[in-house]
Amino acid sequence: MRDLVLSVLIAVAIILFLYQPVKVEGTSMMPALSDQERIFINKFTYRFGIEDINHGDMVVFLYPGDTSKSYIKRVIGIPGDSVEVKEGAVLLNGSRIEEPYVPEEFLDRISAPLTIVKPGEYYVMGDHRSASNDSRSWGTVPREYIYGKAVFVYWPLKKIGRLH
């Protein structure tokens, strides 16, 4: 009985403070993540400053338009960056960035005005650009709304593994 209680307490601590299982809803992060996939997010790394939020990270955050909802997107711009989208091409600090995670068929030709990312905020976009509601529409995400980094797919089993 003691071992069972200890195991449950350790599992609860891991889920509450380190990793949290999350179900992906929607197609905005395809092909990296698909609708109904199950992933683990690392809540520890950003909360305690173990790691900074960097370009290319897949982050889970409270949607600024309705904080009862969570979104997952890729970080494009960090504080101090300038981000502009010209007919689908992303310009970061004036230079077009390579985005191997966005297949040609998921690109769109939408433009978004130049945004200077303010301190404590992040510019995020989905990988499936033609199906993503992201910073191009509603602006940047405050740092305090970001609560996890997507790190591992555990369902379906054929896609099990680390996220990049």
Over the chain, what HEC string results?
CHHHHHHHHHHHHHHHHHEEEEECCCCCCCCCCCCCCEEEEECHHHHCCCCCCCCCCEEEEECCCCCCCEEEEEEEECCCCEEEEECCEEEECCEECCCCCCCHHHCCCCCEEEEECCCCEEEEECCCHHHCCCHHHHCCEEHHHEEEEEEEEEECHHHCEECC
Which one of 7, 23, 28, 68 is the catalytic residue?
A: 28
Which one of 7, 23, 34, 73 is the catalytic residue?
A: 73
Q: Among candidates 141, 89, 145, which has minimal Cα distance to 117?
A: 141
Catalytic-residue membership of 73:
yes
**132, burial (CB in 10 Å: exposed 0-12, middle 13-18, buried 19+):** buried
Residues carrying an active site annotation: 28, 73
